[in-house]
Amino acid sequence: MNRRLFLKFLTLISGYLTGIISFPVKLRGSLAGEISKSKSGNERTSSGKAGAKSRVVHLRNDALLDSNREVNLSVAEEMVKSGMLRLTGESAPDQAWKSLFQPDDIIGIKVNSLGGRQIATHPVIVNAVISGLKTAGVPEKNIIVWDRLTKELSRAGYTINTSAKGVRCFGTDTGYDRYPEIIGSIGSCFSTIVSSQCTALINIPVLKDHDLAGVSLSLKNFYGAIHNPNKYHDNNCDPYVADLNTHPYIKNKQRLIVCDAITLQCHGGPAYKPQ
């Protein structure tokens, strides 16, 4: 498989597996999810169902960035709410979130903080998602915002919290499984956040170039869930990115992808290159 076909493959798979809300340049966006029939005949949004159909919702709001180019929380919350309603077909925001998450779920929100404040998942978008989860009755203590390194989260503007109160936020450097998991070409120890702490995952990547993978988006974002991602960058990360995302820790737990493309980088990534 050549690089172009592989990147096309990544795009197709990332849209198929679960839901996507994106906030691209000029504040356009998309949200996609798999829709399957429940026993009652109603459409429900689910993840990993064989034969499920994908749904994409495009979002745009020119007021998302204020005059200082800061993200407006109230606008972000309204966009996420609107996208979830259109994605799930529900008439009320709480029911939209309940179609994906239950109050007893432990939800890990995977962000991307490698590039620092300039090219990282915006904390405001994460807060908008958290607000939605809370409407479904998910308590703050059941939510973990995480990435690979605690120090990178801090540099990207996240408040670290390892206590039992409120939304927790920390890196996978707090603990990996003792033994590696083998899936396809991957042999890695997974973060305990993914393997044993969380019952559900929300993936919030940023849209940016990656000098080895070609693009860093939803599938590549889970390189932050394993202890040895440096081993899996040969051949434009093919087939490693795809293999990693077939592991049940990811495939069976990921229920929503939120693509934050408010600021995107077209070249020189994954580190921030302002030019």
Q: What DSSP string describes 161-199?
A: B-SSSSSEEEEGGG-B-SS-EEETTEEEPBBHIIIII-S
Q: Give the pLDDT confidence of 155-182 residue by residue, as tens digits.
A: 999 999 999 999 999 999 979 999 999 9
Q: What is the pTM of this model?
A: 0.83
pLDDT at 4 (0 to 100): 52
Question: Is 247 strand, coil or helix?
Answer: coil
Domains and CATH numbers, the chain: 3-265 (3.40.50)
pLDDT at 214 (0 to 100): 83
Structure confidence at residue 62 as a pLDDT band (50, 70, 90): confident
Which string of DSSP letters, residue by residue, matches 20-46?
EEE--GGG---EEEEEEE-TTS-EEEE
Structure confidence at residue 11 as a pLDDT band (50, 70, 90): very low
Does the pLDDT value for residue 2 go beyond 80? no
